[in-house]
């Protein structure tokens, strides 16, 4: 009887369940969007109960669609939007509030206070991160401070908190298991990536009690089993990995110096640095890639808040497109952007600038600018942001980029990837399976239960769909990039400081 591994891919705008076979191919997929909640300007929330119900429904649906029984699911792996977090009641499982999403900027003031307190150097050395509202720690502190009685309940041991992987594992196991993996823990601003444990000083500074936090475990191990009533039988829950680290693993970037870029709602570049923590002096993050066999491996990361979201903005707010699939043809209808640049700093700028007061900017508009120019400028902004990070990544690591592996929804856009290759001057490689985030979680879960014997079994899993070769015209690429840099300068420090 053929068996499969299921990935639960809990993203920013949708929940997916994907079944993978031994060759790493997608057998079946189910996906459903959930609501985006915007209570105030700069605030972004999710209904955590809706996330759970949506994720459970697509997990059941993918089993049905594949025409298999739950006994053919060898294991479940989880990958998730990393910095979104919540706190819930340990007894009832009811969240205290909506989950606060990674895009949310409400804790910018708390971050300013931490900086004023001289914590920037310590945070960088201990966590590999920068002080920014992007990360979970200040969000957890905000929920505790703004929910009546929450701190008293936390002191009595009544609350559990964490990132979305912990929430899903808790629900899958019927509240029996409260864990996270090291990759997700490393995104909280509370985890010491050198010691591999929660950092007492940062817990104290943010007044987040250790008692609410999950136990930190390997990225590949059996944490527990699902409640039998969910799928008709118990299934091992056997991996947890942050979405971007999952993509790094799913792209078979197992060796030091290999780089992948994910074009999702946001975007992320990761360079595998193996057992070595490489500190960045150029606005990048040092993060945990994964923990296997109790040993941490690390990565350099460039995080981008708004990549694919610029296309969602064109569709949902400007309403100049009906679907993302229209953008490639529209961009090719014009030879260039007619001088238009768009910086989609909807929630501030992340790597390498880390300006939480930057805002979205459009420059270069003349009477001749039209819909297609705006669309092309939006797509080009993705490639420029990637180039911003690659240059700093090369400087920090001392390694020159040889090629770039890509994945994510916008990686299906041929215009974006060709423009990316032209900007970087290296080959861009798109795999046949672009669901690499989910595949990474599947690989890790399968390794935990012996579905795959070891990492060597996965080296051949990268199958190329298309390779994009760069233009030889470096002068034009550099000229366009200089215009982008000027536009970024104009977007910075725009919003009023709270």
CB-based contacts of 149, cutoff 8 Å, min separation 6: none
Mean pLDDT of 108-122: 94
For residue 344, pLDDT over 80 is answered with: yes
Give residue 436's pLDDT band: very low, low, confident or very high (50, 70, 90).
Answer: confident
pLDDT of 461 over the 90 cut: no
pLDDT surpasses 90 at 467: yes
- Reference 488, options 304, 339, 360; nearest CA is 360
Is the pLDDT at 459 greater than 80? The verdict is no
User: Token pair 């070769």 is at which residue?
Assistant: 469
Question: What are the E-state strand segments in 34-82?
Answer: 45-46, 73-80
* pLDDT bucket at 444, cuts 50 / 70 / 90: very high
pLDDT at 458: 85
What average pLDDT does the segment 446-462 reach?
86
Taking residues 338-359, what's their average pLDDT?
Answer: 93
Which is nearest to 419 in space by CA: 326, 303, 305, 335?
Answer: 335
pLDDT averaged over every residue in the chain? 94
Confidence at residue 329, expressed as pLDDT on a 0 to 100 scale: 97
DSSP letter string, 373-402:
HHHHHHHHHHHHHHHHHHHHHHHHH-----
Q: Is 47 a residue whose pLDDT tops 70? A: yes
What confidence score (pLDDT) does residue 498 get? 63
- Considering only CA atoms, which of 406, 369, 374, 381 is closest in space to residue 480? 381
Q: For domain 4-244, is the CATH number 3.40.50.2000?
A: no
**Residue 264 banded pLDDT, cuts 50, 70, 90:** confident
Considering just the CA atoms, what is the radius of gyration of the chain in Å?
A: 22
Mean pLDDT of 370-384: 98
Entry pTM: 0.86
Contact assessment for residue 244 and residue 82, using Cβ atoms and an 8 Å cutoff: yes
pLDDT in tens, 468-480: 999 999 999 999 9
- For the chain, give every domain's residue range: 4-244
Strand-pair partners of 160: 88
467/358 Cα distance (integer angstroms) = 35
In degrees rounded to 5, what are phi and psi of residue 27? -95, -40
Q: How far apart are CA 27 and CA 9, in angstroms?
A: 15
User: Which residues are registered as beta bridge partners of 285?
Assistant: 301
């Amino acid at each position: 009887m053929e068996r499969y591994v299921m990935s639960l891919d809990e993203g920013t705008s949708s929940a997916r369940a994907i079944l993978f076979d031994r060759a790493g191919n997608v057998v079946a997929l189910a996906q459903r969007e959930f609501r985006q909640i915007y209570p105030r300007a700069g605030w972004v929330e999710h209904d955590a109960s809706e996330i759970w119900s949506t994720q459970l429904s697509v997990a059941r649906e993918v089993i049905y669609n594949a025409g298999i029984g739950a006994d053919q699911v060898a294991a479940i792996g989880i990958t998730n939007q990393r910095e979104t977090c919540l706190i819930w009641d340990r007894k009832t499982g009811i969240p205290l509030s909506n989950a606060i999403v990674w895009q949310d900027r409400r804790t910018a003031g708390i971050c300013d206070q931490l900086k004023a307190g001289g914590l920037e150097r310590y945070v960088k050395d201990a966590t590999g991160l920068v002080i920014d509202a992007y990360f979970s720690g200040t969000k957890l502190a905000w929920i505790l401070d703004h929910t009546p009685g929450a701190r008293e309940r936390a002191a009595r041991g009544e609350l559990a908190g964490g990132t979305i992987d912990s929430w899903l594992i808790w629900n899958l196991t019927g509240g029996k298991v409260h864990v996270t993996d090291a990759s997700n823990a490393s995104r909280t601003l509370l985890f010491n990536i050198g010691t591999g444990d929660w950092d007492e000083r940062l817990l104290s500074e943010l007044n987040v009690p250790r008692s609410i936090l999950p136990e930190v475990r390997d990225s590949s191990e059996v944490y527990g089993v699902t409640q039998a009533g969910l799928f008709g039988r118990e299934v091992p829950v056997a991996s947890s990995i942050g979405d971007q680290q999952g993509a790094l693993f799913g792209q078979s970037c197992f060796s030091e110096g290999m780089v992948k870029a994910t074009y999702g709602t946001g975007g992320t570049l990761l360079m595998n640095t193996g057992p070595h923590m490489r500190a960045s002096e150029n606005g990048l993050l040092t993060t945990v890639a994964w923990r296997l066999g109790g040993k941490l491996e690390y990565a350099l990361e460039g995080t981008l808040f708004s990549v694919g979201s610029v296309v969602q903005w064109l569709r949902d707010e400007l309403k100049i497109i009906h679907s993302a699939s229209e953008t490639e043809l529209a961009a090719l209808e014009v030879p260039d952007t007619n001088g238009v640049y768009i910086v989609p700093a909807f929630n501030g700028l992340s790597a390498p600038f880390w300006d939480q007061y930057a805002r979205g900017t459009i420059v270069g508009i003349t009477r001749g600018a039209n819909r297609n120019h705006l669309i092309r400028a939006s797509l080009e902004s993705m490639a420029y942001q990637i180039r911003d990070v690659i240059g700093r990544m090369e400087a920090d690591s001392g390694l020159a980029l040889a090629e770039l592996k890509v994945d994510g929804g916008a990686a299906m856009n041929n215009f974006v990837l060709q423009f990316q290759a032209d900007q970087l001057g290296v080959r861009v490689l798109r795999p046949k399976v672009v669901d690499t985030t989910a595949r990474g979680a599947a690989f890790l879960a399968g390794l935990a239960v012996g579905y795959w014997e070891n990492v060597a079994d996965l080296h051949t899993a990268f199958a190329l769909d298309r390779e994009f070769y760069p233009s030889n015209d470096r002068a034009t690429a550099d000229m366009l990039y200089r215009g982008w840099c000027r536009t970024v300068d104009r977007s910075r420090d725009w919003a009023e400081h709270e």
